[in-house]
Amino acid sequence: MTTKLIVSTLICCSFLMGCSPSVKNEQTEQAKPSETLANEIQVGKDYHSFANPDEVKVTHLLLDLNVDFEQKILSGSVELDYKKIDLSAKTLVLDTRDLTILNVTANGKDIPYVLSSQDSFLGAALTIELPLEGNTVKVEYHTSPQASGVQWLTPAQTAGKKQPFLFTQSQAIHARSFIPLQDSPQVRVTYEAKIHTPKALLAVMSAANDPNTPRDGEYEFSMPQPIPSYLIALAVGDLHFKAMGERTGVYSEASILDAAAAEFEDTESMLIATEETFGPYSWDRYDLLILPPSFPFGGMENPRLSFITPTVIAGDKSLVSLIAHELAHSWSGNTVTNATWRDLWLNEGFTTYLTYRIMEMVYGEKRFAMEAVLGRQDLQADIDTLPADDQILAIDLRGRDPDDVFSNIPYEKGALFLRELEQKVGRAEFDKFLLAYFKHFNFQSITTDQFVDYLELNLVKPHSDVLSMARINEWIHAPGVPAGAPEPQSDAFTVVDQARNDWLEGKISAKDILVTEWATHQWLYFLNNMPEKLTQEQLTELDAAFSLTQSHNNEIAHSWLLMGVKNWYEPAFPRLHDYLVSIGRNKLVKPLYKALSETPEGKKMAQKAFAEAKDAYHPLTVKANEGFVE
């Protein structure tokens, strides 16, 4: 990577009018990677972008893209308006990955540019010589069918089976695979887009969507609030809309529209409750887009239009905390944004804390308490397996692909940290602090250090009797969870522990456990806390009593199938295969592939499922799991 970068930088310098200071800096800095890594992290430096926003900042995008399902490419142009931060700046550096650049123009004339060779996960820098006049450049380009941020689905891979489907997933650094731009969360842009699709399909974006737009293959969008590039999103398919509330609705394929609208009907209440506590919603409408099951995440907080996996449509609202989570990002993440991927916990930790608060407000204390205990257990599972350096909130990601570092740490450890602050100063005080924080940093991208400074001034100083900077720094910079951290408790789990223990000790048989009133969360707690090893008889008994192999709840099925793999419970294997080939949500399939890969027989099953499913998996799910089936 280093060599490639130097070579490309040199080429660019050789024919451009001169190198900008940051390009030169990059050259010297990159020349000695070991030294750079040994050095202190430069706070606020985005190590995952080639762009030069300190010199030239892109402020607005105008996209004009044709969606070609035959060739699986997006083609067209982007006009980028920019502002010089350094008046002597001569070049604009954009991020790209697997893009074919056809030309770059300004004021209707070609201008010089250089596309560097491609780094394995950062992509390639597109260095453009700035024109002498104006503040706009236009890049004509097309994407590659392998674009890491775009998934193209054939009609057979959709619910309706008749029309193809496309969706993008930009976070963390994949927007560059379908738009040449400054792909850094510290650059915010407004955007407009014209999207041309086959006539029968509807396009939607993370922008103002009009549910009543004529379905004619020509769609126009505008996003008037400035957003970071990782929130730019597009989906195209045989989509339909159903309103859920005044400001909320759902888009999906026709066959799941009613089920989705019923499952998520509390979205409007969630929105109102969040506004009441954490300040006004900044984004006008809040709609959901339900994607095909290959969507690699549970959800993605694309502004005005969260992208949601269909695997949470359980029929009983048991998994809707996902909606609370994506909605909460409208405050933590979309208005106050992490400045670099090291600061991801500012997005995800705050959002996870808010999620718990929303669930408590809308569904009550019992539901919240169960979810908090399960979250704490997920966190512990990661602490028990991750290296110490990966257990730190402000993690050092230099030289690493953010996709490879996904864990519960920024989420649940971040949320637990905020819970401690809440408990120390009291809920009313903490809510006041959060309200002010969201207002203060509205539409800004901030670093962990900026947050800590703000926290020190606005919470630690006024509450120095109960808070200290040493404790704050321990939370942010030390591995694990500090001693004395809040311990979530749920009374609803006491009966579950009792039942599990009695059954394991042979005091009762499975069918005698009183489960009729059990919530999904109690089932998850029951299963997730079983001993690693169970006998075939025990598994058979549980399955006979509770039909776990056939569970329609994808989270319960996940926990059960994982136990099935670890204990080689063959009756569950046909279901396991179906599960792996029909779901592409990485959080659900990856632990199964990993567990299967640990034995030779398991690996064969994994290989079979992966080979069958691969074409329908998203590039990120392929990347995350292909190592398990080699």
Residues annotated catalytic, as ranges: 326, 411
The DSSP line for 445-482 is EE-HHHHHHHHIIIIITTTTTT--HHHHHHHHHSSS--
164 binds ligand BES (CB under 6 A): no
172 binds ligand BES (CB under 6 A): yes
- Smaller CB distance to ligand BES: residue 287 or 301? 301
Name which of ligand BES, Zn ion, none residue 171 binds, using a CB cut-off of 5 to 8 Å depending on partner kind. ligand BES
User: Taking Cα atoms as reference points, which of 96, 129, 100 lies closest to residue 112?
Assistant: 129
Give min distance, CB of 351 to Zn ion, in A.
5
- Smaller CB distance to ligand BES: residue 8 or 302? 302
Name which of Zn ion, ligand BES, none residue 395 binds, using a CB cut-off of 5 to 8 Å depending on partner kind. none
- Smaller CB distance to ligand BES: residue 411 or 503? 411
Q: Which two tokens stand for residue 93?
A: 């550096």
- Smaller CB distance to ligand BES: residue 403 or 422? 403
Contact with ligand BES (CB under 6 A): which of 53, 228, 249, 298? 298
586, 620 contact by CB (below 8 A): yes
Give min distance, CB of 213 to Zn ion, in A.
29
d(CA 216, CA 195): 11
- Smaller CB distance to Zn ion: residue 338 or 450? 338
Q: Catalog residues that contact Zn ion under the rule CB under 5 A.
A: 348, 351
325 binds ligand BES (CB under 6 A): yes
Give min distance, CB of 12 to ligand BES, in A.
30
Give min distance, CB of 358 to Zn ion, in A.
13
371 binds ligand BES (CB under 6 A): no
User: Taking Cα atoms as reference points, which of 298, 279, 282 lies closest to residue 290?
Assistant: 298
DSSP-derived pairing of the beta strands 56-68 and 91-96? unpaired
- Smaller CB distance to ligand BES: residue 196 or 329? 329
172, 178 contact by CB (below 8 A): no
Give min distance, CB of 306 to Zn ion, in A.
10
Name which of ligand BES, Zn ion, none residue 287 binds, using a CB cut-off of 5 to 8 Å depending on partner kind. none
183 binds ligand BES (CB under 6 A): no
Strand partners, 76: 65, 141
Give min distance, CB of 366 to Zn ion, in A.
24
Strand partners, 165: 153
Q: Is 470 exposed, middle or buried (0-12, 13-18, 19+ CB in 10 A)?
A: exposed
Q: Find where tokens 């020509």 sit.
A: 218
Give min distance, CB of 356 to Zn ion, in A.
13
From 77-85, 277-285, 291-299, 461-469, span contacting ligand BES (CB under 6 A): 291-299
Name which of ligand BES, Zn ion, none residue 297 binds, using a CB cut-off of 5 to 8 Å depending on partner kind. ligand BES
Name which of Zn ion, ligand BES, none residue 300 binds, using a CB cut-off of 5 to 8 Å depending on partner kind. ligand BES
Binding footprint of ligand BES, residue count (CB under 6 A): 14
Using DSSP, state whether 258 is helix, strand or coil: helix
88, 44 contact by CB (below 8 A): no
DSSP-derived pairing of the beta strands 305-308 and 109-110? unpaired
- Smaller CB distance to ligand BES: residue 106 or 312? 312
Cα-based torsion angle of the residue sequence 157, 160, 163, 167 in order, rounded to the nearest 10 degrees: -60
Restricted to residues 329-348, the positions that interact with ligand BES (CB under 6 A) are 329, 348
- Smaller CB distance to Zn ion: residue 55 or 348? 348
User: Taking Cα atoms as reference points, which of 332, 312, 338 lies closest to residue 323?
Assistant: 312
299 binds ligand BES (CB under 6 A): yes
Q: Find where tokens 């006539």 sit.
A: 199
29, 36 contact by CB (below 8 A): yes
Contact with ligand BES (CB under 6 A): which of 178, 264, 286, 411? 411
Restricted to residues 564-603, the positions that interact with ligand BES (CB under 6 A) are 587
Max CA pair span of the chain: 83
Neighbouring C-beta atoms of residue 110, cutoff 10 Å = 9
Q: Find out whether the peptide bond into 172 is cis, omega within 30 degrees of 0.
A: yes
Q: Which two tokens stand for residue 15?
A: 């024919």
300 binds ligand BES (CB under 6 A): yes
Q: Which two tokens stand for residue 145?
A: 């069918």
Instruction: List Cβ neighbours of 218 (8 Å cut-off, separation of 6 or more).
Output: 194, 195, 196
From 45-53, 221-229, 281-289, 298-306, span contacting ligand BES (CB under 6 A): 298-306
Contact with ligand BES (CB under 6 A): which of 63, 322, 393, 616? 322
What's the Cα-to-Cα distance from 424 to each of 346, 369, 406, rounded to whole Å? 20, 19, 29
Give min distance, CB of 326 to ligand BES, in A.
6
Residues found near ligand BES in the complex (CB under 6 A)? 171-172, 297-301, 322, 325-326, 329, 348, 411, 587
